[in-house]
A and B are shown apart, each in its own frame.
Chain A
C-alpha cells in the first residue's frame, strides 16, 4: 500500500511538472503575439470614438502589470491559475475568462470524451475479432477503413455529411441547440434538444479516433495472440470468446489504456475545425474566434492550457488505473 501511495505521488509530481512546462510554453506564445492586451483594448476603445494617447496605453499597461519582467508575469499567471484557478480577463471581450469558458469548456470536454468512449466501444470488440479472424477479406477491409480514418480527416467528413444532408434531406445539421432554447437555462427539454444535436459532433470527432484505436487494438492483439500462453490455454480446452477475453485481450488492453491521453489529444486537434464547420459555440470555436478574428491571447492561452491540462489529467488517471490493475507497472515505476 505504501508503495502504491509513493507511486501516485511520483506520478502526480510528474504531471505537475509537465503542466508547468506547458504553462511556460503557452505563456511564451501569448507573449509572442504582436501587440499587448493594453494596446488592443485601447485600440478597441478608439473605434468607439474616444481619443487614445501613448500615455493612456502606458497607464493601462501598468494597471494590467504588463510593465513587469517576463518571469514575474509568468509566475503570477501560474500562481493565479494553479492556486485560484483564475485565468484573468479576456483582452477583447473584457469579460472574466472563467465565466466565459465555464459551460463551454465542460461541454467541449463532454463531447470529446463521448467521442473517445464511442471510438473504443467500437474499436475494442472489432479489433479483437479482426485480430483473431484469418479471413483476408475482413482484414483488408478493416485496414482500408482505418487508413480512410487518416485520409479522410474529420473536417472533410463533416463537410461531406453536410453536403449529403443539404442535397438529399434539405436540412443543415449545425449548432448544438435549437434556436428557441439557446439562451434558456438547463432543464430536461434543453438537455434533450442538446442530445439530439450533439450526436453529430460526437460521431464526427470519433471517426478518426475509431480508426486509430482500431489499428492499435488490432496490432496489440496480434502481438499477444501468437504467444505460447494462448496456445497453452487453447490446448487445455479453453476456446472461442472465453479464450480471447481471458488471455490475450486482458494483456493487450494495458497499452491501450495507456494511449488514451494521446487519443484525446487527437480529438482536441479536430475540435476547433469541426466546431467551425458545424457552427458549434463551444471552446474549440471560441479558440478560433479568439485567435483568428481578434488575437485575444489571454483567452487563447487559457483554452490551450485547459485542453492540455485535461490531457495531462487523463494521462495521470490512466496511469493510476493501470497501476491498480497491473502490479507490474507499479513495480516497474518504482525501479
Chain B
C-alpha cells in the first residue's frame, strides 16, 4: 500500500497524516483503487451501465418487432470495413444485401452480399423515436401507471445510408440483435436492482429483528430462514413463475419476476445481519445507548446498522450476479420475461434450437455480454469485500 511505504520511509508526513485522519469511505476507496482487477471490472461495469442507460441512443433500430428488417431475417453480423479489393475508404462501409428465393436456392430465402455496392456508415442519423430515462409502466390499476421521460429524440449514434446495418446480425423475425442486446442489459440490471432491493429490505427487517431481540423470536425466525434456505430456489422460482397468467402485460411480468427474486433471495443476507447484530449488541456502546433510554428501533438504525454498512454494500454487490443469473435462467426456460421485453435471458431463449446451433451462431453474442456483466459484478464485489475488511492487510 502506498501510504505504508511512504510512512515507513518517514519522508511524507502529510501522507501519514492523511491516512490516520481519512474517513472510512476514503480508506475503502484507496484500497479498492489499488486493486487493478477490481478497477478494470469496475470500469467495465460502468461502461455497461452507461450502455444500458443510453441504449435507445446507441442502438440504430427499435429492438421490438416494430424495428424489424424484413429484408434481412436471420442475417449474419455485418462488420464495418475500411477497405476491400475495390480500394480503401475513410468512411467505414458495409455491403448491400439481396434476398432471393427461387428454384436455384431450393425455395428458401437466401441472402447474398453484393460486394460491389457499398453502404457507407453515417453518424447521428435520424431514425425511430425514443425517450431516454423513460419510465412507463402499465400496472394493473390506473393509479399505478407511471410515464415519465426526460429526453425525447430520434437521433441515433450511427446508421448507414440507404440500408440497415446489423452489427450482431438479426434474429428469425429480423430484429437487430445489437439493439436488443443493449436494451436487454438494462432490463436485466433493472430486474436485478429491484430484486436486490426487495430482498435487502426483507433481510434487514427479519435479520434485524432476529439479531436484536434474540431469544425465542430469533429461534423461530432462524427456523423459517433455514427452511427457506433449504428449498432449492430455481425449482421454487419455477413454481412461483408458473402462477403468471399469459394475459399479463410484459411490465407486470417484469415486476412480478423481480418481486419473486427478492422474496426468495433474502435468507442469506438476513442470516449475516443477524449474526453480526448478535455480536455487536453486547458491545458497550449499545448498553450506553440503552441506558440513555433509546428505543430498539433507534438503536438498530442509528448505532448498529452504521457499524456494518460496508458489509451490507458488499453483500448486495455479491448477491447481484445471482439475481441476474436467476432471471436469465428463468427467462431462458420461458417462465420469466417474454418477447417484447428484451432481457438477456429472453434473448437466449432460442439458442438451443438445432437450427440456431448449426446455422445462426451469432444468436450467442448476448451470452458474451451476460458473462461479462456477471464477471464484472463478481470482481467488483470481491474487490469491495477486500477493501472493506479492515484486517485485510494485516493478514498479508
Contact = CB atoms under 8 A, between A and B. Distances in A.
Contact of A304 (B236, B351, B367): B236
B235 A162 contact: no
B227 A22 contact: yes
B174 interface: no
A276 B371 contact: no
A150 B232 contact: no
A308 B230 contact: yes
Contact of A269 (B224, B233, B370, B395): B233
Nearest to A277: B352
Contacts of B288: none
B321 interface: yes
Contacts of A34: 243, 245
A300 interface: yes
B230 A272 contact: no
Given A167-B357, A273-B333, A277-B352, A153 B325 contact: yes
A155 B243 contact: no
Contact of A287 (B238, B357, B361, B375): B238
Interface in A234-287: 261-262, 265-266, 268-273, 276-277, 284, 287
A167 B361 contact: yes
Interface in A154-186: 155-156, 159-160, 162-163, 166-167, 172
B231 interface: yes
Please report whether the interface of chain A is mostly helix, strand, loop or mixed according to DSSP. helix
B374 A151 contact: yes
B375 A151 contact: yes
B232 A153 contact: no
A307 B235 contact: yes
Contact of A166 (B243, B334, B354): B354
A276 B379 CA distance: 30
Contacts of A301: 239
Contacts, number: 128
Interface stretch (A25-33, A39-47, A59-67, A127-135): A25-33
Interface in B195-248: 223-224, 226-236, 238-243, 245
B356 to A, nearest CB: 9
A304 B357 contact: no
Nearest to B352: A277
B238 A151 contact: no
B357 A312 contact: no
A304 B321 CA distance: 24
A106 B332 CA distance: 26
Contacts of A265: 229-230, 232-233
Contacts of B233: 265, 269
A288 interface: yes
B321 A155 contact: no
A303 interface: yes
A29 B260 CA distance: 13
Contacts of A150: 321, 325, 374, 378
A132 to B, nearest CB: 16
A155 B332 contact: yes
B334 A292 contact: yes
A21 B227 contact: yes
A160 B364 CA distance: 9
Contact of B354 (A160, A172, A262, A272): A172
Contacts of B227: 18, 21-22, 25
Contacts of A315: 230
B182 to A, nearest CB: 20
A94 to B, nearest CB: 20
A159 B351 contact: yes
A270 B329 CA distance: 9
Contacts of B371: 151-152, 156
Interface string A200-219: 00000000000000000000
B332 A291 contact: no
A291 B242 contact: yes
Contacts of B378: 147, 150-151
B357 A292 contact: no
A150 B377 CA distance: 11
Contacts of B243: 32-34
Contacts of A122: none
Contacts of B325: 150, 153
B358 interface: yes
Nearest to A265: B232
B335 interface: yes
A273 B224 CA distance: 27
Contacts of B245: 34
B170 interface: no
A266 to B, nearest CB: 8
A119 interface: no
A155 B344 CA distance: 14
A167 B241 CA distance: 34
Contacts of A334: none
A261 B230 contact: yes
B238 A288 contact: yes
A295 interface: yes
Interface in B310-356: 321, 325, 328-329, 332-335, 348, 351-352, 354
Nearest to A268: B232
Contacts of B333: 272-273, 276, 288, 292
A261 B227 CA distance: 12
A160 B357 CA distance: 9
Closest 3 CB pairs of A and B: A21-B227, A268-B232, A151-B374
Interface of A: 17-18, 21-22, 25-26, 29, 32-34, 147-148, 150-153, 155-156, 159-160, 162-163, 166-167, 172, 226, 261-262, 265-266, 268-273, 276-277, 284, 287-288, 291-292, 295, 300-301, 303-304, 307-308, 311-312, 315
19 contacts: A21-B224, A29-B239, A33-B239, A147-B378, A150-B374, A151-B378, A156-B367, A156-B371, A159-B351, A163-B361, A166-B354, A166-B358, A272-B238, A272-B333, A273-B332, A276-B333, A288-B333, A291-B242, A315-B230
